[in-house]
Structure formats: C-alpha cells, structure tokens
A and B are shown apart, each in its own frame.
Chain A
Amino acid sequence: MSNAFSSSLEFIFPFKIEKRPSDSKLMSYLSPLIAILFTLISGAFLFLSLGVDPSTALYTFFIMPLTDVYGWTELGIKVAPLLLCATGLTLCFKAKIWNIGAEGQFIMGALGGGAMALQFLESDSSWVLIPILIAGMLSGLAWAGLAALLKTHFKANEILTTIMLNYIALNALLYFVHGPLKDPNGFNFPQSALFSDSSLLPLLSADYRLNISLLFGLFALVVIWALMSRSWIGYQINVLGEDSAAARYAGFKEKTLTWFALLTCGALAGLAGVSEVTGPVGQLIPHVSPGYGYAAIIVVFLGRMQPVGILLASMLLALTYMGGEMVQMEMTLPKSLTGLFQGMLLFFLLATDLLISYRIIRIKKSNVPSDNAITVSQG
C-alpha cells in the first residue's frame, strides 16, 4: 500500500498512528488539557505575529479579567447562560441529536420573556418575574419543539433545521425590536423600553451585577447530571445515543426521547435567554447573545459531557469573552479574538481526541508495519 504520496509525508512526519486495544480513559481527560495548551501556544504565536508581547497579551486575555472580585462576578454572569445551554445540549448530544439550535432557543427565550416583561412596566410586584421566566422558558421550548416536530414527524435533518431556526429567530428578534416592541420614547433606536426593576432578576450581592441566573445554571447542571446517571429516561437516552438499533430493539420510544431531549434543551436555553435580558441587559436589544448558544457546543465537547468538566469548560469559555473585551480595552486588539480562541480550542480538541482511540508512534527505518498499524497519510 505504500506509495510516493505517503512515503514523502513519512519523510517530513515520521510518525504513524496505531489503534489502541481499548479507548484510553486517561486520554479522554487529558486531551482537553492538551487542546488548551495548544491553543495557548498558538495564541502566543498569533500575538507575536501582531507585534505584541505574547506574555503580556496572554496575561491580559486569560488572567487580568480575574484579578479582582468584580472580575469573578462578571465571569459568573457569563457562566450562567453557558451552563444552561450546555446542560441542555448535553442531553441532546448524548442521544446523538445534533441540536445546533441553542442560539435560536436562547434568542426566542429572550424575546418571549422580554415581551412579557414589557407588559409589566408599571408593576412593582416581584411576582411578575415568574410569568416572565415562564414565558421565556416556554418560548425556547416551543422553538425547540419545532425542531423536534421536524425531526420526528418529517425526518428532516436536525442540524440544518436548527441552524435555519437560529437565523429565523434572530430575524424575529430584529423585527420586534425594530417594530412592535420598539420603545416609543426611545428616539427610534431599535430597542425596547427598559424593564421595570421588579422584572429584573434579584442580584446575589448588591455591589455586583451577578444575579440568581448562576444558581439556575448550577441547579440545571445537577438535575441533568442526576437525570442522566440515575434515571430510567436518562438511561434510555444514553442507549439511544450509543446504539439506536439496540434502543429500538429494547422497545425504547425514540420519538418520545427525541422530544424530551429537545424540549428540555429548549426550555433551558430559553431560560438562559430570558435571564440575560432580565439580568445584565435589562431590555430587548438587537444583539442579546454574543453567541452563547454556539459557544455552549464547545463547552459540551470540552467538558466531556461530565458535570465538573462542563462547569470548568463554561468558565473557560466565559473567560474568552472577558479576555476579548480586556485585550480590546487594554491593548486595542480586536475583540473578535474571542471567536478565534473558541474556534482554535474546538479544533485542537477534535484533533487531540485522536489520542483516545489511537496512539502515535515513531516510524523507525527498519520498522515493519504491524497488522493493525496505519500511517497518517496512507490511502
């Protein structure tokens, strides 16, 4: 099988990959760390190429946002939506339902909850938060319900439908803030009126912006973890994801499980959305999400779908948002470094995930390939 193409590659890349007898548990936990390390190294080279000192820039990006209590509370504000979206997505991804729609469900939650909050502009009862949060959750749930309907009833590919629903949700939000929900006294800016104080989530401490949405996130994480590891429906979802044929053979109702996973995810993402507008934002604006729904996908992969992993990964991804803002303020570098770091992180993770099932060994000159060995470039 050796040909000119592969041997020329062997010359510059004298390694081959060999399947492990069984998947490496160690590597499945190590590979996120290796991916983070590679991301940091690439980041350092990136900053070098921009002509800035890499150590200063990396410090500004990853450490400086967290040097005071305020920074940690701001991190919490961003961890909350990531946790809510990521726990919901975990449920879907465990069942191998590729729901990319957390972003749209987040936006619909913000829109539905925000529209409800605008009904209570004059109210000073703190009970109004309950209908507002429920409206947000139901909006996200309904949006995910559409995806579930399209998947179970029409067998439409959920990746494509959820992406399309994200764009539709974004345009719906734009329509409402430019039209029906625009603040009549807002000088024609595309934004709603400011919500009344009673419609805002209670703060955890009067001195900071951090509110109880972080508790929602942590609660969701625990509940979903218990559901997945301790409950009958969680078990069925796991089996469906591992081997859908076995799930059908066992008589598990695939459609019901799909609805359950998607609706739960929608409700959680919707809660994240409404918490964002009744939390740090305080009104409806055209851009309620800096891409939390997409970043949550990275959180799920990076966190290995484990509760502690997801919590740590949420914190890291939240930090990339703060780091982007920090390097913009302190060093006038573009804020879009956030997306770049997030993308690199996921890429390196997928590449290093190879190490879970394979190992890389050096090709020796006299080495005769063993039976189950393949070279990287072999065709």
Chain B
Amino acid sequence: MDIELITNILYATIRTGTPLILIALGEMVCEKSGVLNLGQEGMMLMGAVVGFMAAVTTGNLYLAVLAAVVAGILMSALFGFISISLVSNQVATGLALTIFGGGLSAFLGASYVGMGIDGVQPMFIPLLSDIPVIGKILFQQDPLVYLSFALFGLVYWVFKCTRVGLNIRAVGENPEAANAMGINVHAVRYMCVIFGGAMTGLAGGYLSLAYTPLWSEGMTAGKGWIALSLVVFASWKAERIMLGAYLFGAASIMHLILQGTRFEIAPNLLAMLPYVATILVLVFLSSNHAKTKLNTPMSLGVPYRPQL
C-alpha cells in the first residue's frame, strides 16, 4: 500500500465516522439523563429526507442543514412527549419512532428519489491543509466534519467541567435525589432528548447533503443502530465514541482498503462487515460485563414519575 492510498483511506474513514459520532454523542447525552432513545434510525432518516428536500427546494445548503436539525428535533420531541410525559415504555416507543420515521421519510421523499444536488463542498483550512498527509486527512474535509470535532469538544467539556453535566448525570443516576436537589428531572430529560434529536437530524443531513448528496429510501442502512451500540462500546465516554466511530467507519469502507491488496470479495459480503463488527464488539464488551454495568447510567430506560 502506498502512502496516497493510506491517506485516502484515513480521509474516507473520517467521513464515514462522522455521522456515527454525531448520533452517538447525542444519544450518549440522552442516555446519561436516563432516557434510552432507540429511535435513532427513524430520526436520522427524517433528518436526511427533510434536509435533502430543503436543499432541492431552496438551493441553500445552510438552510438544508438547519432543516435536517429541526426535523430531528421535532421527531425527538414527539418521542420525549410520549416517553417522558406519557411515561410509556422507552424501548417500544423508540422502536415506534424508527418505524414511523422510516415510513414518513419514505413518504415525504418519494418524489425526490433520483434527484441530484451539489452537496456540501470540502473547506480547506488555510495553511493546515497544506501539511502532507495529515492536512488531507484532517483539514480538507467539509464543514460538517469540523462541526463534529467541535461538538465532540462541547460534549466532552460539558461532562468534564460543568454543573450542567453534573445535573444531567444526577438525573440519569438517581432522579429522586436529583428532584430533591431541586433539579427539574423532566425538563433536563426533555433537553437531553431534544439535543440527541438535533444531533441525529444533523447526522441524517450529513448523509444526504454531504456524504452521498442524494435521497434514497432507507439510506441510513442501520447507522442509527450501529451508533447505539457505539455508545455501549464507549461506556458513555465521549473520547471513546470518537475512537469507536472511526473504527466502525474503517469497517464500512473495507472495499477501499482492499483495493490495495489482492483480495476479491463480493460487495454484499463486505457490506456485512460493520454489522458483524458491531456484534463482535457487543460480545467483546460482555467479557467485561461488570465494568459495563458500572458505567451504565443507573436509571437508564426507567420512566420517572414525580411524586408530589
């Protein structure tokens, strides 16, 4: 393998890892507050289709990204209302969100299939992008990739250094105690769920506006679910989400990596790789079951009913 191929592989790894990072960071915040939102796939599809529709109708990519985020927010607010206010089963509600998002996105996007747009273009960072190898990998990406770096920094900082992060964790670990401390448990959970929705909407927008600038039904192909596994893999730590997302990113571009070797594998078999990798990761984690349990927010998935 020559250096140019390796550079290209790492460049593509960052790109494929980006939507996973966005979803996983959002879901991590959501789970830290004690809410398990399995509807990532549905929210992501909605972000992708609404972003793409906005791009086609307005021609403005900034508006399109914004539209994708708003779509994610609306979907997550719906999830929040049913699972937080109406204290429904979070697992079932998340599945419903995925099925509903799949159906609604296919319906909305039916007339947009096959259309093309000029996607988000790479933005070269002055000077830095001229560095050999690293410049291409890190500083010739599109703006949404840079945004994912920034959002990682934000989430990391919030949980490491701020009271907000502390409050979110208190709500996820022990909502009764948090309530007694004067924290509005439902408000915190709503905020976290909506943040997660915004991130997943953005990830959907990244997919249909930058990664592959088009819309096709079910185009997320399980990325939402992979990101959910990633949160467990990362034991709810932002820096490990980054690492994991790029590992999964690499697994999904195996065809590119294999170009440099003599192996010939059918594309459909290669397409299985990220899913197989996800299962292997889940298996690997269980070898350390006690530690996973230690890191899991105590009240994850348990609806909270305030007692007056």
Chain A residues within CB distance 8 Å of chain B: 1, 3, 5, 17, 19, 98, 100, 150, 154-157, 159-161, 163-165, 167-168, 171-172, 174-175, 178-179, 294, 297-298, 301, 334, 336-344, 346-347, 350-351, 353-354, 358, 369, 371-374, 376-379
Q: Are B308 and A5 in contact (CB under 8 A)?
A: no
The winner among B95, B186, B271 for most chain A CB atoms within 10 A is B95
- Give the residues in chain B near A163, CB-CB below 8 Å: 222, 225
- Give the residues in chain A near B217, CB-CB below 8 Å: 336
Say what secondary structure dominates the interface of chain A: helix
Chain B 101-114 per-residue mask, 1 if CB under 8 angstroms from chain A, else 0: 11110110011000
Cα A171 to Cα B286 with chains together (Å):
26
Cα A339 to Cα B95 with chains together (Å):
13
Residue of B nearest to A353 (CB): B88
Cα A174 to Cα B271 with chains together (Å):
10
Question: Is B279 close to A, CB under 8 A?
Answer: yes
Cα A247 to Cα B222 with chains together (Å):
34
Say what secondary structure dominates the interface of chain B: helix
- Give the residues in chain A near B308, CB-CB below 8 Å: 1, 369, 371-374, 378
22 pairs from A and B in contact (CB 8 Å cutoff): A159-B91, A161-B279, A164-B276, A167-B222, A171-B268, A178-B268, A301-B92, A336-B106, A339-B102, A339-B106, A340-B104, A341-B103, A342-B99, A342-B103, A343-B103, A343-B104, A347-B78, A350-B88, A350-B89, A350-B93, A379-B186, A379-B306
Range, interface on chain B: 35 or more
Cα A342 to Cα B99 with chains together (Å):
8
Interface hits, B66-110 → A, CB 8 Å: 78, 82, 85-89, 91-93, 95-97, 99-104, 106-107, 110
Q: Are A350 and B82 in contact (CB under 8 A)?
A: yes
Q: Are B107 and A334 in contact (CB under 8 A)?
A: yes
Residue of A nearest to B183 (CB): A379
Q: Are B272 and A339 in contact (CB under 8 A)?
A: no
Residue of B nearest to A338 (CB): B103
Question: Is B209 close to A, CB under 8 A?
Answer: no
Q: Within the complex, which residue of A160, A171, A297, A358 is in contact with B229, where a contact is CB–CB below 8 Å?
A: A160
Q: Within the complex, which residue of A154, A160, A343, A374 is in contact with B102, where a contact is CB–CB below 8 Å?
A: A343
Q: Are A354 and B88 in contact (CB under 8 A)?
A: yes
How far does the Cβ of A148 sit from chain B's closest Cβ, in whole Å? Answer: 13
Residue of A nearest to B189 (CB): A379
Q: Are A294 and B99 in contact (CB under 8 A)?
A: yes
Residue of A nearest to B284 (CB): A154
